[in-house]
Structure 1
Amino acid sequence: MTDEITVVKCGGGLSHAQDDICRDLARLPVGRTVLVHGGAVELDRLADRLGVPQRRLTTPSGSSSRYTDPATLEVLLMALVGKIKPALVAALARHGARPVGLTGMDARLVTAKRTAAHRAVLDGRTVVVRDDHSGRIRDVDPTVLVTLLEAGCLPVVSPPALGAEGAVNVDADRLAAAIAGALADTRPVRLVLLTTAPGVLRDPADESSLVPEIELSDDPVTEAAVHGGMTAKLQAARAALDAGVGTVVIADGRVPDPVSAALDGAGTRVRFTATLGSL
C-alpha cells in the first residue's frame, strides 16, 4: 500500500554499516520510515573507557539482561543520546533525509514500568536487585511520530523510555516492535530487524543455513526456543505481529541497501499462527 510505514531497527553491532543503512533509508518514500536504534557495543566501549563495570542479570529461569545500575544508566544516555543518535542523524541528513532524533521519553512517546525489585543471579549468587533501572514497555503514544512523518521527517528513536521516576532502559528490539504495533493502529506497518547475520540460521556457525520463513505459534516450544541466538528478536517479532504489524523480517544489516533487500525478500520472514487450543 502506498501509505505503508516501515519501522527499521538497527543495533550497535552494525556501526560499521551505518552509512550504507542511512543511505538506503534516505531513499525510501518520504514520511513513511521510522528508525529505531540500540547501542550495546558502543555502551560497552564507553563504559570501559569510563571505568564503569558492566554486568548481566540472570533470572532464576535463565533469561539475561544488562544490569542497568545508576552509573550504567548515565553511560547509556551518553552512548545512545550523545554519540550514536547524533551520528545517525548526521548520516541521514547527509543523504538527503530530514531526520529528527528522539528517545522514548520525548513527548511521552514510550512509557515503561521499572522493575523495582527482582530476584536475579549476580556473580553466582541469587540476590534481590533494587537499583536496576530497566523495565517493560507499558504504552506507546505515536502522536509525535505521526506528526513528524506527516511533515516529511524521519524519526530516529532509541531507549530509554519514560518511567514514574525518570529514565527506564528497555530492550531496543522490543521498542521497535512496540512502536510498529502502535503505528499499526493508524496505517499498515512492516517491521525490519537488522542484525549481523543473514537472518535466522539453522546453524549459527553456518551463514548458508538461512531459514527463509519461520512460523511462530503460541505453543511454549517455538522456533524462538530453538534458535537461541535469535530468541530476543523472535520474541519482538511475535509481539509486533500480535499488535497488528503486517510484515516482520529479520535480515542482514551488513549487505548493500539492507532495508531494500529485506523488503525485496532477503532474510527471514516471521509469521504467527495460533494453535488450536488458543482459538
Structure 2
Amino acid sequence: MRQQPLVVVKCGGNADVDAEAVCGDVAGLIRSGVEIVLVHGGSAEIERLATELDVPQRTHTSPDGVSTRRTDERTLEVLTLALAGSVKPKLVRRLARHGVRAVGMTGLDGLLLRARRKRAQRAVVDGRTVLVRDNLSGILESVNDELLRDLLDRRLLPVVSPPAITDTGEALNVDADRVAAAIAVALRADTLVLLTGAPGVQADPDDDSTMLSVCEVSPDGSPASWARGGMAMKLIAAREALLGGVAQVMVADGRRSEPVRRALASRGTRVVLRPHAARAA
C-alpha cells in the first residue's frame, strides 16, 4: 500500500506562470517524501512557435463558453514541437538543477495516454452553432497508470504533456488540464493542483479581488456562466477528478513562490462538488 502522499500538479502554459518556482517547489516536496506527477501545457510557446512558422491559430468556443484550440495537421505539428521539443526539456533541465531525476513524456510514449478522435465538435461561429469535423483533437479514454507507477517506484518524476494516441496510432491533441485530472484519478492521487496565471477561480475574471476560496461545481452540465476560456476547462477537469475519487482539487496561483505548497495549504480555490453529487468510490 502506498504510504507517501501523491500529488498531481498541472503547470499552466500561461507565460505568467513561474516555471522555475514550480520546479523548485516540486523538488522540495519530493525531498520531503511527497510523490508527484507533473503535467504541463504550453499555450504561450505554441503561439510563439506558430507565429514564427506562420501557422495560423484558431480557437473554438463551444455553445457553453468553453474555448479549445482548433487543431489541424500543421497546428498538431506545432503543438508537438512546442511541448515535446521546448517546454518539456526546459522543465526537465530546471528539475535536474534541483537534483530531481525527471522523465519527460508525451501521451505517445509507452502508450501513456489513449484517446479517441472527436468525430464532430459543436462550435459557435459568427453567432451560429456549427459542427466541426476536421479537428485533430480527442477525448481521453485511458491512462497507462502502471507505467507512471513504475517510474514513481523508481523515484523518478514523470513530466507529462499531450498529445495522446489512438488505437490506430494517430496523434491527437487533448486538454492538459483534463490529462492531469485523468492521471490523478488513475493513480488515486490525494490532491490535484491546477496552477494558473491567476490567484484562483475568480467570479470576475478581470478582478483578482473576486477570487473564491471555495468553488462548487455541478456533477454535470456546463460550467458557471462567469467561467470563461481556460478557467471553464479547469473546472471541467476538476469535476472529472472529484467524480473519479480524488479527495482534493485546488486551482492556485502559479506566479507566486512555492506555488504547490501554497495550494496544498489551501491558498487558492478549492473546487468541490455540490453536496448532492456523490463521489465515485
Q: Identify the residue that residue 179 of structure 1 maps to in structure 2.
A: 183
Contact preservation (8 Å) 2:12, 2:254:
no
Please give the alpha-carbon distance, in whole angstroms, between the structure 2 residues aligned to 1:34 and 1:57.
Answer: 29
Structure 1's 219 and 9: CA in aligned 2 closer, same or farther, altered over 3 A?
closer
Q: Cα offset for 1:125? A: 7.1
Structure 1's 161 and 205: CA in aligned 2 closer, same or farther, altered over 3 A?
same
Q: Identify the residue that residue 11 of structure 1 maps to in structure 2.
A: 12
Structure 1's 258 and 61: CA in aligned 2 closer, same or farther, altered over 3 A?
closer
Structure 1's 60 and 216: CA in aligned 2 closer, same or farther, altered over 3 A?
closer
Q: Cα offset for 1:14? A: 4.3
> Are 2:209 and 1:205 aligned?
no
Q: Identify the residue that residue 274 of structure 2 maps to in structure 1.
A: 273
Q: Identify the residue that residue 225 of structure 1 maps to in structure 2.
A: 225
Q: Identify the residue that residue 24 of structure 2 maps to in structure 1.
A: 23
Contact preservation (8 Å) 1:112, 1:136:
yes
> Are 2:100 and 1:100 aligned?
no
Q: How does the TM-score come out when normalised to structure 2? A: 0.89
Contact preservation (8 Å) 1:14, 1:195:
no
Structure 1 segment 121-200 matched on structure 2, within 5 A = 121-122=124-125, 128-163=131-166, 164-184=168-188, 188-200=189-201
Q: Cα offset for 1:135? A: 1.2
Q: Cα offset for 1:216? A: 2.3
Where does the alignment leave 5 or more consecutive residues of structure 2 unmatched?
A: none
> Are 2:42 and 1:39 aligned?
yes
Q: Percent identity?
A: 51
Please give the alpha-carbon distance, in whole angstroms, between the structure 1 residues aligned to 2:59 and 2:266.
Answer: 35
After the TM superposition, which parts of structure 1 deviate over 6 Å for at least 4 consecutive aligned residues?
123-126
Structure 1's 122 and 70: CA in aligned 2 closer, same or farther, altered over 3 A?
farther
Aligned pair count reads 274
Please give the alpha-carbon distance, in whole angstroms, between the structure 1 residues aligned to 2:180 and 2:22.
Answer: 16
Please give the alpha-carbon distance, in whole angstroms, between the structure 2 residues aligned to 1:252 and 1:226.
Answer: 19
Farther-moved stretch of structure 1 (233-242 vs 8-17)? 8-17
Q: How does the TM-score come out when normalised to structure 1? A: 0.90
Structure 1's 217 and 89: CA in aligned 2 closer, same or farther, altered over 3 A?
same
Equivalent residue letter for 1:76: L
Farther-moved stretch of structure 1 (118-127 vs 159-168)? 118-127
Please give the alpha-carbon distance, in whole angstroms, between the structure 1 residues aligned to 2:3 and 2:145.
Answer: 20
Structure 1's 108 and 165: CA in aligned 2 closer, same or farther, altered over 3 A?
closer
